[in-house]
Amino acid sequence: MCGIVGYIGGRSAWPIIVKGLQRLEYRGYDSAGVAVINDGGLLVRKCKGKVADLVQMVKGQDLSGSVGIGHTRWATHGVPNDVNAHPHTSMNGKFVVVHNGIIENYREIKARLVEKGYSFKSQTDTEVLANLIESFYLNEKLTAEQAVKAALRRVIGAYGLGIICTDEPGILIAARKGSPIAIGVAQGEYFLASDATPIVEYTDQLIYLDDEQVAVLSSDGYTISNLNDVHVDPVITHVDFDADNIDKGGFDHYMLKEIHEQPQSIADTMRGRVQSETHTINLGGIADAMPRLASARRIIVVACGTSFHAGLVGEYLFEQFARIPVEVEYASEFRYRDPIINDDDVIIAISQSGETADTLAAIRMAHEKGALVLGVCNVVGSSIARETDAGIYTHAGPEIGVASTKAFTSQVVVLAMMAFALGRRRGNIDEATYASLIDGLVAIPSLIAQVLDSEPQIREVSRAYQLAQNAIYLGRGYLYPVALEGALKLKEISYVHAEGYPAAEMKHGPIALIDNCMPVFVLATHDKFYDKIVNNIQEVKARRGQVVAIVTKGDCEISKMADYVIEIPECDDALLPLVAVVPLQLISYYVAVMRGCNVDQPRNLAKSVTVE
């Protein structure tokens, strides 16, 4: 969590930093700050609130200076307030630090620094780090770079860092362990940031630091070395990233834009992989791993949040088509329960950001136990993408809204492609079925476009339930994970308590919650569970619950019982999650807007969860 930005070069750092912070606000937005060095010395400005509050606070002030760092925070240590906001300055004003991550042994370091006479203004672990660096610098007469390395050799935990030193104003230092750092390389200037989004409008040449690497940037060049001073030859990655992609494109919110992008993002996920004319699926990213995947004894999917729900859809897909047993695990549980992993298991880690700390830790553990680890990530060059043995990028484009929408559908498309290709390879799917599944996949973008045409009706349904305090989502089979996802979307952006259940589970407890104030969103399409789900709807209506049913176009039975129906076009059961999730995304979006919630930046959340 937290976003950091830095700049050194010939331009004024402040406008570059502030724009970068706005692009990174999805990573945290409870306070923001910036530090620049100019001829007058060091200027640090920070405040509780969003980057816009910082901009307002410094209006009219001279923040010129061509080296600087900035931060937008998601609080871990210390409540969000002006003092705990980053950057943090060391006691004697020599070092200024912005930090993404957690220094786990900060208490003992702080105690030692207090003994040496250091005092602290904030409750943060970052201020401890700033002072630790300064104590090495002053006591052992080190250079700024050496002092940073000496301090980082002492810390336990995770960090992505931007550091400036008032005695060495011509350099900007970056370091990484656990939390991502991208460095943008341009002519006579360098950028650093938590991901590529603040950098891509200035340069397409990026270096992603690896763990325990330190970069020293100046307008004359840069060096990268590890904590033991061993020089590292950087790998410069060319990023193909359209800066226009990170604007709202005329929509009121990123979330709405991203919901509407799904026909395109899904097409992008399939581009070059699904050939509709020849009915083939070509997954180059896992081609070498395919034999081992095809003979896996078991697939274990690890993920968090929405990516976990995509993984649950994957379980149905892999078991139906590939006939390989699948377990889907919350990464946070998996990593701590000493799971049994054999070397003929294959782990699939799913992560939009590719930086989720628990998922990253889970794949490291699986690696140690000898399993093949595959990644399904959206962010190119992210930590999970780099640490997996092979993988498939979702290519959904940047997802800025904190609530994940287009990433989910692209993840499901990747899992469907994998399951179909595996099923064919293992001889479980005949040629005709394979061709028809591929035709079904290719048709999904246009089916989603049809659902998006119903947006005005979906908005009116949302209006009817905007004041609800609770909601239940029910689905069966492939639509059970969609029920979970619908409930997650509603609670995270509308702050309405919502629960998703397999529909048949309702009578084992949740049915007690049903009264005339309880909206129940039922996924009731023409699949093999249709008759059963009709019975579930009747059970809800018998208890005077309010039913909003997502039905197959042309259904005339359910409209007689439900309070509202939203029609979606027909498609293969296995692909239904891709279509059925869209009305639920729109409902949560409109309920949140009608309740006056900050849709793109819901309270307490952050897009990239780099702390466990």
Q: Which of 101, 198, 263, 305 binds ligand F6R (CB under 6 A)?
A: 305
Stretch of 128-136, 155-163, 346-354, 572-580 contacting ligand F6R, by CB under 6 A: 346-354
- As to burial, measured by CB atoms within 10 angstroms (0-12 exposed, 13-18 middle, 19+ buried), residue 447 is buried
**224 near 214, Cβ under 8 Å?**
yes
Measured from the CB atom, the residue of 304 and 412 that comes closer to ligand F6R is 304
Interface positions, 400-419, toward ligand F6R (CB under 6 A): 403-404
Distance CA 319, CA 322 (A): 6
Residues in the chain: 612
Q: Could you say whether residue 72 binds ligand F6R (CB under 6 A)?
A: no
DSSP string, 302-361: EE-HHHHHHHHHHHHHIIIII---EEEEEHHHHTTS-----TTEEEEEEESSS--HHHHH
- The residue with its CB nearest to ligand F6R is 305
When the beta carbons of 385 and 609 are compared against ligand F6R, the nearer one is 609
Active site residue 121: no
Residue 2 catalytic? yes
Question: Does residue number 258 form part of the binding site for ligand F6R (CB under 6 A)?
Answer: no
- What does R_g of the chain's alpha carbons equal in angstroms? 25
CB-nearer residue toward ligand F6R: 302 or 565: 302
Question: Which of the stretches 43-51, 73-81, 298-306, 475-483 binds ligand F6R when contact is defined by CB under 6 A?
Answer: 298-306
Contacts of 21 (CB under 8 A, 6+ apart): 3, 5, 32, 34, 51, 54, 70, 71, 72, 198
Regarding 609 and contact with ligand F6R (CB under 6 A), the answer is yes
Q: In terms of Cα–Cα distance, which of 567, 568, 565, 563 is closest to 545?
A: 563
* List 293, 304, 419, 540, residue binding ligand F6R (CB under 6 A): 304
* 600 near ligand F6R, judged by CB under 6 A: no
The Cα-based distances of 57 to 29, 53, 69, 83 in angstroms read 16, 6, 17, 15
What distance in Å separates the CA atoms of residue 10 and residue 341, rounded to the nearest whole number? 53
Stretch of residues binding ligand F6R (CB under 6 A), selected from 276-284, 351-359, 501-509, 518-526: 351-359
Active-site entry in 50, 149, 177, 607: 607
Q: Looking at beta carbons only, is 87 or 397 nearer to ligand F6R?
A: 397
Map residues 509-538 to x or -, x wherever contact with ligand F6R holds by CB under 6 A. ------------------------------
* Interacting residue with ligand F6R among 307, 332, 525, 601 (CB under 6 A): 307
Residues 356-375 that bind ligand F6R (CB under 6 A): 356, 359
Burial class (CB in 10 A: 0-12, 13-18, 19+), 504: middle
Binding mask 457-496 for ligand F6R (x = CB under 6 A): -------------------------------x---x----
Q: Measure the CA–CA gap between 24 and 112, rounded to whole angstroms.
A: 34
Only one of the segments 144-152, 258-266, 345-353, 556-564 lies at the binding site for ligand F6R (rule: CB under 6 A); that segment is 345-353
Identify each DSSP E strand in 443-556 by its residue range. Answer: 470-475, 497-502, 519-524, 546-552
Residues 567, 554: contact at Cβ < 8 Å?
yes
Does residue 306 interact with ligand F6R by CB under 6 A? yes
Binding region for ligand F6R (CB under 6 A) = 304-307, 351-353, 356, 359, 403-404, 488, 492, 609
Point out the residues that are catalytic. 2, 607
